[in-house]
């Protein structure tokens, strides 16, 4: 974060606005709406500031001598909208020396705090800022958020505030209160308030509170969620919603650590992922941990890269949940193969090149490589090999041993869909050496098949440095002798 977000309580506190411009009047008006006492420091007031003084004679004061260092003494904060660089610098220096927050309008270098664009549904407020880098963008985003939060949210937030102590007394456990309010805001009571039926909504909340009091305790649940191939923007809406509801998250080694930032901030985080040669927790212990946490009443998020049911061991994990009667939900994710194909420009199927696609694994339970069980392999299909980086040379050799030619196109895509994505293009004969030269170790997928040759033409997210050397770039898509099913 470039700035620490904070809301200041200014009710009844003195604040100083330097200047008599329209901008000064606007800032003073914002402070007045927050309940502040405002002093306008300027030799003479402009029309907007004069009107503000006339409308609020008890809370707006005019210091006609203008600003001089020392006037900021005792102020909760200072805003300078003087339009005079010398005055702005003097105000910034004096406030910084005294530790008083100061904002100089349109001059981020002289600001110790910034004023965000605000969506006001008091007591609910949403503040949006670009840190001074793009204030127009922040205002545009505020306009979008305005449409998502009807004014009725003001009534819903105020009602929740009035009932807060009553709910706290009925449900002493913070965890139970959290779940209760989540159910309220997602349920019919909130809809009643937003529709203007506030009394009905309040009655429904109190009825729900009585039902919750009679419950012996919170019921645990497991959310088995596919996090996709790495890019957080590829998450599903449901995945994001459950990530915000979880009490504890067990997560794999994720291609993009930013995914974890989308989990509820106070959720417990437990790494259980596996890297090559490194196992944080064995799979059997992960299964046990899910059951234990759910039995303790926790909502457990099992966050897995890609899709839980595509080499994600999701089936193994829900077997234990079913056996112990633990409720669970499964949220599919964009598979690593789909993300890799889309972001690398290597189609999984193509009417002219590959009529089928198979997902294989280069690693089995006993660690052995056993691709022969899926033979024969065809020259007009796409093979996607998961967990094949550690034994890339063996993978390429076995595929050649089962009727694929040494010149058959092959690629390795590391950290697909992320800004760190790297693509190595070659053939079954050349790919292992090219990967060694680049020093890539994963997470990565191996893609084998004729559509690999299309990568130079279809790449859109990131260029592949080796692509042009492996396959000449053509002016149009056409079959090339190198990639034709015949050899």
484 backbone φψ class: left, alpha, beta (φ>0; ψ -120 to 50)? beta
Tell me how far apart the alpha carbons of residues 342 and 417 are, in angstroms, rounded to a whole number: 8
Domain 221-334 sits in CATH at 3.40.1010.10
CATH tag for 14-115 (out of 3.30.110.30, 3.30.70.520, 3.40.50.720, 3.90.470.10): 3.40.50.720
Annotated ligand binding at 307? The verdict is yes
- Residue positions annotated with a catalytic role: 252, 274
- The annotation status of 99 as a binding-site residue, yes or no, is no
In 3D, which of 97, 133, 128 has the Cα closest to residue 115? 128
Whether the CB-CB separation of 63 and 39 falls below 8 Å is answered with yes
Residue 464 known to bind ligand: no
Q: What is the pLDDT along the chain (487 residues), one digit of tens a residue?
A: 788 999 999 999 999 999 999 999 999 999 999 999 999 999 999 999 999 999 999 999 999 988 999 999 999 999 999 999 999 999 999 999 999 999 999 898 999 998 899 999 999 999 999 987 888 999 999 999 999 998 999 999 999 999 999 999 999 999 899 999 999 999 999 999 999 999 999 999 999 999 999 988 788 999 999 999 989 999 999 999 999 999 999 998 776 788 899 999 989 999 987 655 555 678 899 999 999 999 999 999 999 999 999 988 899 999 999 999 999 999 999 999 999 999 999 999 999 999 999 999 876 555 556 677 778 889 999 999 998 888 899 899 999 998 899 999 999 999 999 888 999 999 999 999 999 999 987 789 999 999 999 999 999 986 444 444 443 333 333 334 334 333 3
Find tokens 């309008």 and name the residue: 105
Distance from C-alpha of 374 to C-alpha of 384, rounded to nearest angstrom? 12
Q: What is the 3-state secondary structure (H, E, C) of 153-195?
A: HHHHHHHHHHHHHHHHHHCCCHHHHHHHHHHHHCCHHHHHHHC
Tokens for 215, please give them: 């419950």
305 labeled part of a ligand binding site: yes
Q: Is 416 part of any known ligand binding site?
A: yes
429 CB-side CA count, 13 A: 6
Is residue 387 part of an annotated ligand binding site? Answer: yes
Architecture of domain 337-470: 2-Layer Sandwich (3.30)
pTM of the model: 0.72
Domain ranges of the chain: 14-115, 153-214, 221-334, 337-470
* Structure letter (DSSP) for residue 478: -
pLDDT at res. 474: 35
């Amino acid at each position: 974060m470039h700035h620490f977000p904070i809301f200041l309580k200014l009710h009844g506190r003195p604040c100083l606005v330097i200047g008599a411009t329209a901008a000064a009047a606007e800032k003073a008006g914002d402070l007045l709406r927050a309940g502040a006492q405002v002093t306008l420091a300027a030799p003479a007031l402009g029309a907007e500031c004069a009107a503000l003084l006339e409308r609020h004679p008890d809370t707006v004061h005019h210091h006609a001598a203008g600003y001089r260092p020392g006037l900021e003494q005792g102020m909760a904060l200072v805003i300078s909208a003087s339009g005079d660089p010398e005055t702005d610098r003097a105000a910034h220096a004096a406030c910084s020396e005294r530790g008083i927050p100061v904002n100089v309008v349109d001059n981020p270098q002289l600001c110790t705090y910034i004023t965000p664009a605000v969506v006001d549904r008091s007591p609910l407020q949403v503040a949006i800022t670009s840190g001074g880098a793009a204030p127009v963008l922040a205002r545009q985003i505020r306009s979008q958020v305005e449409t998502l939060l009807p004014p009725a949210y003001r009534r819903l937030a105020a009602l929740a505030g009035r009932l807060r102590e009553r709910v706290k007394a009925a449900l002493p456990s913070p965890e139970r209160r959290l779940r209760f309010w989540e159910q309220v805001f997602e349920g019919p009571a909130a809809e009643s308030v937003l529709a203007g039926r506030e009394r009905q909504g309040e009655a429904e909340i109190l009825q729900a509170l009585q039902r919750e009091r009679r419950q012996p305790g919170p019921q645990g649940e497991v959310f088995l969620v596919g996090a996709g191939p790495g890019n957080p923007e590829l998450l599903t809406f449901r995945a994001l919603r459950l990530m915000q509801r979880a009490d504890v998250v067990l997560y794999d080694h994720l291609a993009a650590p930013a995914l974890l930032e989308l989990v509820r901030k106070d959720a417990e985080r437990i790494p259980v992922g596996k890297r090559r040669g490194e196992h944080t927790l064995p799979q059997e212990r992960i299964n046990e941990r899910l059951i234990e946490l759910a039995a303790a009443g926790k909502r457990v998020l099992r966050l897995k890269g890609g899709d839980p049911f595509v080499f994600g061991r999701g089936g193994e994990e829900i077997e234990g949940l079913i056996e112990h009667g633990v409720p669970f939900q499964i949220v599919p994710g964009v598979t690593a193969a789909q993300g890799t194909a889309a972001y690398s420009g290597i189609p999984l199927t193509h009417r002219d090149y590959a009529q089928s696609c198979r997902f294989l694994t280069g690693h089995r339970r006993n660690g052995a490589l056993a691709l022969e069980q899926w033979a024969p392999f065809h020259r007009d299909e796409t093979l996607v090999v998961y967990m094949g980086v550690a034994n890339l040379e063996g993978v390429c050799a076995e595929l050649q041993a089962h009727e694929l030619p040494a010149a058959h196109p092959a690629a390795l895509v590391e950290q697909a869909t992320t800004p760190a994505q790297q693509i190595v293009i070659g053939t079954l004969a050349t790919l292992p050496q090219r990967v060694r030269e680049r020093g890539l170790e994963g997470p990565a997928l191996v893609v084998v098949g004729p559509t690999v040759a299309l990568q130079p033409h279809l790449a859109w997210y990131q260029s592949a440095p080796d692509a042009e050397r492996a396959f000449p770039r053509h002016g149009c898509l056409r079959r090339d002798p190198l990639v034709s099913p015949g050899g």
